[in-house]
Every structure is written in structure tokens, then in C-alpha cells.
Structure 1
Amino acid sequence: MKQFKVQSFVLVLIAFVLGFSEFLIVGILDDLGAQFNTPVATVGYLVTIFAIVYAVSTPFITILISKYNLFAGLLVMMGVFTLGNILSFLATSFIFLAISRIVTALVSGVAISLGLTFAGYIAPMSKRGWLLSWVFSGFSIASVVGVPLGTFISTNFGWRMSFLTVILISLVTMAFIFLSLPRDLKVKESSIRGQISLFSDKRIRVGMLLPMFNLAAIYVFYTYLRPIITTQLQFSIGTLTILLAVFGISNIIGNLASGKLSEGPGLRAMPIVFTTQFGLMMLMPAVFKFSWLGAILLFLVILTMPLINSPIQLFFLQVAENDYPQSIVLASSLNSIFSNFGIALGSATGGVIVSHFGLGMVGPGGAIYALIAFLLVVGLNKMTHKWVQSRHSKA
């Protein structure tokens, strides 16, 4: 039991450092813009670039690496991740920084996919939803501690020190991985064609769009969270750090609620979630005129962001275990892959809206994607219900 707790902590730590690195840009947008004499909207595209590279590279590298020992693969991915952050720390131009972020993005998705595969391997069935929700909470903790800490360090000591903090935590994480995780984990060997057979399942093809449009909706405004707080809602820099921490707590609450949902109604609860998300985002232009009401609204929308994580992750794993066991690692990666497609889509959309219509209109832009997510989950739930009925009738 003690070993399981230690291993669970290590998996959460992996998610934390990956999330810290990925989300850090949101908190230091203004400082990077000032350093490289680049508009904030342009610096915001670092989020888009990272997410696109993350999403496109993850399935290919995951398929290649899943043939080998997953313990060694995880260590190699974390090593390259650390190198990418060292390059960010050393960046002398905006282009250099963008290239360093590409290096980091190439392996971040594979690392969390392997971490989630380890979670499925070490957790008893009764603990799966719990552990998955905590691994995803690692990203939320990164937004609670990492983003405000990175913003504080950047504001007081320079943005390079923020990346140095990520590097140090990454080295500690690699040491914990080496000392605690099982070294014998391999999945059933299969050809590339055998692994991608997972995509022949219509449930998978529809399901993987859900995290994409969920985060597309959120990242229309989340990419510009710092300027929204300081410019639109007119809070001070000191209050900014506090609010980022509070919003991170909201994210953690959402992740833990996600674990509970996966043990109960699962994806059947998501239509209510996306309806709520849509309504809150449509209110943003009116509510953003009032500082504290705007902050409360942001808290509530951010709370909805991770609710889909555990239900959709369990859905992917269950489909793979039942029908495509050779594709377990690939199935583990789908949530993070398509979440990052969503981040890319949302941050790019946010950039267009901010450039042409201003910060106040990011909410309605995100609401369109929340509506699409609602329609997708309604369709997926109907599809899953029919599939269960047909299986029972055959039995």
C-alpha cells in the first residue's frame, strides 16, 4: 500500500512538472513581450505552437515508443523535456524561445501518456478513477502553485528564473521515477497498423473530439487570463497572483469532482456541464464590467474545464482494453493529444478575437465551442447506449 502511494505521488509529480512548463507561458506573457519587444497577442501564439506540436507529435512518438520498455521510455522523454526547458532558460530571441518550446512539446504528450499507462498498470480497478483524477489534478496543482509561482518569480527575478525552477523540479521528478516506478512494464506487441486500428471505432473518433472542443472553449479566454485580470477586470499585479492561485484551486476541485463523476454517471453528466459552460461564457461581456463578479465567473468556468478528464480517460481505456488491447498506450494518449488540439484552436481563436474585437468578447467565442462539445457528447452517449444494448442482446 505504501509503495502504491509513493508511485501515485510520482505520477502526480510528473503531471505537475509537465503542466508547470506548459502553463507557465500564460503567467509570463507580458514579461516575454517586454523582453523580446513582441506584442502580447504574438507571444500568446507560443501557447498555440506548443499545443499543435504536442498534439501532432504525440501519437507518432507514442506508437514508436510503446514497442519498448515503458520505464526507459518515460525517463528518455523526461530527459528531452528537461533539455527543452534548459533551451528556454537560455533563449536569446523570440525565435530561439519558440524553438525551445517545440522541443519541450514534442515529448510532453508522450510523457503524460506513459504516466497514465503506469497509472492503469499499478492501480487496482477500484482505485483507477481516483488515481486518474489525481494525475490530472497534477496539472491543476501546476496552475495553482506553478503559474502563480512562475509569475511571481518572473515579476521579481526575471522570466529565466521561472524556467530554472521547472528544470530543477524536472530533475527531482526523474530521480523519483528511477527509484519508484516498476521497470518491467511493456504492452502487447503490435504493428503500427494494429495499434491505429483503435481509430476504426466510431466511439473513439467521436470521443476524442470532446476534450478538443472542451479546451478550445476554455482557451479562447484562458490564454489571455493575465491581461483579462489586469486590464479588463483592472486588478493589481499583487491581486493577479492571488487570483491565479484561486483559479488553480478551482481547477483542482474540478479534477477531483471529475474522479467522482467517473465513478458515477461519467459521460452522461457532461451535457449539463457543457450547457453550464455555454451559459457562463455568454455572460462574460456583461459581467466583465464588474471586477469581482468577473472574477467569480472566471472561477466557475475554470471549475468546469477538467470535469471531463476522468470520464473520457476511463472511456478510452475501457474501449481499448475490451476491443483493442494492443492500443492501450495510444488510448491513454488521446485525451492529452486532443486536449492540445483544443488548446491550439482555442488560443488561436482567442488571438483573432482579442486583435479584432478586444478582450471583452472572448467569452462568446468560447461559447460556440462549448455548444459543439454539448452536441458531440449527446451523440456519443446515444452511440454508447446502443453499443451496450447490442452487446447484451448478443450475450
Structure 2
Amino acid sequence: MKKIRIQCALLTALSFLMGLSQFIIVGILNNLSNSFHTSIDHVGVLVTLFAIVYAIMTPIINLSVGHAPLYKVLIILFSIFAIGNMLTAVANNFNILLLSRLLTALASGPSMSIAITLAAAITPPQKRSWIVSWVFSGFSIASVFGVPIGTWISDNLNWRFLFWIIFILSIILIAILYRLLPHNLRQKKGHGFLRQLAIFKNTHIILGILIPIFNFSAVYIVYTYLKPLLINKLGFSTNNVITILFLYGLCGLISNQISGHINNRKWTKTLVSFLSVQAGSLFILFLTSNFKWLSLIAILFMALTMSVQNSPVELYYMEIAEQKYPQSLVLASSFDSIFSNVGVAIGSAAGGYTVNTLGLGYLGLIGGIFSVLAISVLLILNKVYFQ
């Protein structure tokens, strides 16, 4: 059991570095805008395109895994991730920066899904929900500590240092993963791409993937533009923003840990309660956008709900795959990451459009609409799947 814990800790460290690389853009949006002499909404495109590439390339690469050893695939992909972050660190124009982010996105999605598959495979069934939530928590830990510290480094030193740090830590982690991950785990043999894609014929899967799409659309409409919202609309200072980002990440970590304890059969009803809180907090953010402290409380409540779906939804996909589509297990394990990033892409794009046409004060209203859509899907799923 001690070895399993070490292996899961390494996979959590991997997700931490991927989360830091992805989320830190939100904290350095203003710095990148100044460095490359472009507008904030133009820099926000980095978030949107990262998520699109993540969502498109993850299933394509996962379908190509076949019967290869999972540890070997993970090592190759995470090496590409490391190179992408090195390119970000040395980018001397916006096009190179964009290319580096797309390369990083290409490797991040399948790396995360394989990490989840490995964690679930090496863990006893009764511990899976808890372990999967911990691997996901690497992203939340990145939000709690990495993003605020990274924002401080960017504001006071240089944003390029952040990506050099990620690159060096990634190389060290690759060496450790090679030695300690099991070398005998493979995906069950399938019968080509079409056989693996058969999982999308399942109505319960189709409904299930709409949950992370709408949930993360709601959150990222606000989160992508959180720094300009806090400074330009709500009037917080730069130093206050670093503290708020820490609190936001802490709430996200709590959200992820709550997710690990939602393993009852009627998880859909539990998620409806949390997403109702999310919708309420976003609508309150819209209504109180001229009252900084009330708006901040609403933002933190939103953060408390953002990751609650992760573990129950991920295990829901994998349960269906194990029972009916075993050849699609790695693909199914990536569904939450893939479709969360579809939500990120939709949310960041909708957020950019909202900022340009209506203003920062309307982000909460548009986000709340997406939360209501997520709640509607959960109610339908509860009716057709559990009854």
C-alpha cells in the first residue's frame, strides 16, 4: 500500500505541474499583454485555444494508445509537455508563445487521462474515488499555491521564470516516474478506432459529458477574466489579487476534496445542490458587481463548487466503459478532462465576447445561465439513468 501511495503522489505531482502550466495564464494575463503589446482579450485567446486543442487532441491520442505500455506513453507525452513549457519560457513573439501553448495542450490532456487510468488500476476498488480525487487535486493545489506565487513572481520578477521552473521540475518528475510506475499495465486490446468510438452511442455517456461542459463554461466565463475583474471592475489592488487568488485556489481544493466523498449512487442529486449554489453565486455576482466584498464572497462560493463534479462524473464514465466498452477505458477516463476543456473553451470565449460587448459586470449573468443548463442535464440524467 505504501508503494501505491507513492505512485499516486507522483501522479498528483504530475497533475499539479499540468494545472500550474494551464492556470497560471489567468494570473499573468496583464503581464503577457504588456510583454507582447497586445490587448487582454487577445491574450485571453491563449486560454480558449489551449482548451480547444486539449479537447480535440486528447481523444485522438488516446484512441492511438492501443495496447502500448501506459507508463511509456505517459513518459513520451510528459516529455512533450516539458518541451512546450521551455518554448513558452523563451518565446520572443506572440506567435511562438501561442505555438508553445498549443504544444503543451496537446500533451496535457492524454497525460492526465493516462494518469487517472493508472491511479484507478493500481488502487483497490473501495479506494478509487478517494485516489482519483487526489490525482485531480493536483490541479487544485496548483491553484492554491502555484497561481498566487506565480502571479507574485510575474509581477515582481519575470513571468518567464515560471515556465523554466515548470520545465526543470517536469524533467525531474519524468525520471522518477520511469523508475516507479508499473511497467506492465496496458489498455485492453480493442478493434480499432471505430470500436472504441462506440461508447459515444450510449445515451447516458452523451448526457454525462454535458455536465463538465456546462459546469466549466459557467466557471471560466468569470475565471478567465478574474484578474481584470478584480482590479478594473471591483477595485482591488494587485497585492489583494494575489491573496484572492490564493483563497480562490483554496476553495477549489476544498471543492475537489468534497468531490472525493461523493460516491453514493444518487450523486446526481448531490451535484444538483452544489450547482444550485454555483448558479446563485454567479447571479449574485452580477447583481452585486458594484459592491466589491459581496462580489468577492460570490466568487469564492463559485470556486467551492467548480470541481465537485470531478470524481463522481469520472467514475460514472469509467463504470459504463468497464461494463460495456472495455476497449474504450483510456478514452473514457479522459472524458472529464476533455469535456471540461470544451467548457473552458466555450466559457473563455463567451467571457471575452461578454467583456467586449457588455462589460466585466455581466460575466456573472452569462455564467449563471450555463450553471442552470448543467443543473437541467443532471435532473434529466437522474431520471433516465437511476430510475
Fold shared per TM-score above 0.5: yes
Q: What CA deviation, in whole Å up to 9, does each residue of 1:51-96 have, x standing for no partner? A: 0010011100011024311110000000000011111111111111
Corresponding position: 1:5 with 2:5: yes
Contact 2:218/2:367 (<8 A) preserved: yes
How far apart, CA to CA, are the structure 2 residues paired with 1:265 and 1:137?
Answer: 23
Q: What CA deviation, in whole Å up to 9, does each residue of 1:186-229 have, x standing for no partner? A: 01111212211111111011101110110000000100111112
State the match for 1:50 in structure 2: 50
State the match for 2:361 in structure 1: 360
Contact 2:220/2:347 (<8 A) preserved: yes
CA 1:227 to 1:250, structure 2 compared with 1: closer, same or farther past 3 Å? Answer: same
In terms of mean alpha carbon deviation, does 16-25 or 64-73 score higher?
64-73
State the match for 2:17 in structure 1: 17
State the match for 2:238 in structure 1: 237
**1:169 Cα deviation from its structure 2 partner:** 2.0
Contact 1:129/1:263 (<8 A) preserved: no
Q: Once superposed, what is the RMSD of the aligned Cα atoms?
A: 1.1
Q: What CA deviation, in whole Å up to 9, does each residue of 1:11-45 have, x standing for no partner? A: 11111011000111101000000011100011011
Contact 1:187/1:326 (<8 A) preserved: yes
Equivalent position SS for 1:288: coil
How far apart, CA to CA, are the structure 2 residues paired with 1:65 and 1:187?
Answer: 8
CA 1:228 to 1:66, structure 2 compared with 1: closer, same or farther past 3 Å? Answer: farther
How far apart, CA to CA, are the structure 2 residues paired with 1:125 and 1:15?
Answer: 21
State the match for 1:133 in structure 2: 133
How far apart, CA to CA, are the structure 1 residues paired with 2:168 and 2:153?
Answer: 14
State the match for 1:105 in structure 2: 105
Structure 1 unpaired stretches of 5+: 387-395
How far apart, CA to CA, are the structure 1 residues paired with 2:176 and 2:240?
Answer: 35
Q: What CA deviation, in whole Å up to 9, does each residue of 1:81-120 have, x standing for no partner? A: 0011111111111111011111111110000000000011
State the match for 1:346 in structure 2: 347
Equivalent position SS for 2:307: coil
State the match for 2:68 in structure 1: 68
Q: What CA deviation, in whole Å up to 9, does each residue of 1:321-376 have, x standing for no partner? A: 11111111000000000000000000000000011111111000111111111111
What residue identity is the alignment partner of 2:48?
Answer: T
In terms of mean alpha carbon deviation, does 357-366 or 275-284 score higher?
275-284
What residue identity is the alignment partner of 1:304?
Answer: T
How far apart, CA to CA, are the structure 2 residues paired with 1:90 and 1:220?
Answer: 29
How far apart, CA to CA, are the structure 2 residues paired with 1:210 and 1:173?
Answer: 32
In terms of mean alpha carbon deviation, does 119-128 or 227-236 score higher?
227-236
Equivalent position SS for 1:260: coil
State the match for 1:391 in structure 2: none
In terms of mean alpha carbon deviation, does 67-76 or 343-352 score higher?
67-76
**1:145 Cα deviation from its structure 2 partner:** 1.2
What residue identity is the alignment partner of 1:338?
Answer: F
State the match for 2:329 in structure 1: 328
Superposed counterparts of 1:1-395, under 5 Å = 1-190=1-190, 191-263=192-264, 265-386=266-387
Instruction: Using the aligned pairs only, state the percent identity.
Output: 40
How far apart, CA to CA, are the structure 2 residues paired with 1:116 and 1:263?
Answer: 20
**1:263 Cα deviation from its structure 2 partner:** 4.5
Contact 1:217/1:367 (<8 A) preserved: yes
How far apart, CA to CA, are the structure 2 residues paired with 1:248 and 1:355?
Answer: 27
How far apart, CA to CA, are the structure 2 residues paired with 1:9 and 1:288?
Answer: 40
Equivalent position SS for 2:44: helix
In terms of mean alpha carbon deviation, does 52-61 or 156-165 score higher?
156-165
How far apart, CA to CA, are the structure 2 residues paired with 1:331 and 1:383?
Answer: 20
TM-score by length of 2: 0.98
In terms of mean alpha carbon deviation, does 111-120 or 59-68 score higher?
59-68
Q: What CA deviation, in whole Å up to 9, does each residue of 1:291-348 have, x standing for no partner? A: 2222211110011000100110010010011111111100000000000000000000
TM-score by length of 1: 0.96
Contact 1:66/1:329 (<8 A) preserved: no
How far apart, CA to CA, are the structure 2 residues paired with 1:187 and 1:173?
Answer: 23
Equivalent position SS for 1:67: coil
How far apart, CA to CA, are the structure 1 residues paired with 2:37 and 2:111?
Answer: 33
What residue identity is the alignment partner of 1:119?
Answer: A
What residue identity is the alignment partner of 2:25?
Answer: I
In terms of mean alpha carbon deviation, does 229-238 or 115-124 score higher?
229-238
Equivalent position SS for 1:55: helix
How far apart, CA to CA, are the structure 2 residues paired with 1:294 and 1:176?
Answer: 43
Structure 2 unpaired stretches of 5+: none
Contact 1:90/1:160 (<8 A) preserved: yes
**1:380 Cα deviation from its structure 2 partner:** 1.1
Equivalent position SS for 2:184: coil
How far apart, CA to CA, are the structure 1 residues paired with 2:130 and 2:291?
Answer: 38
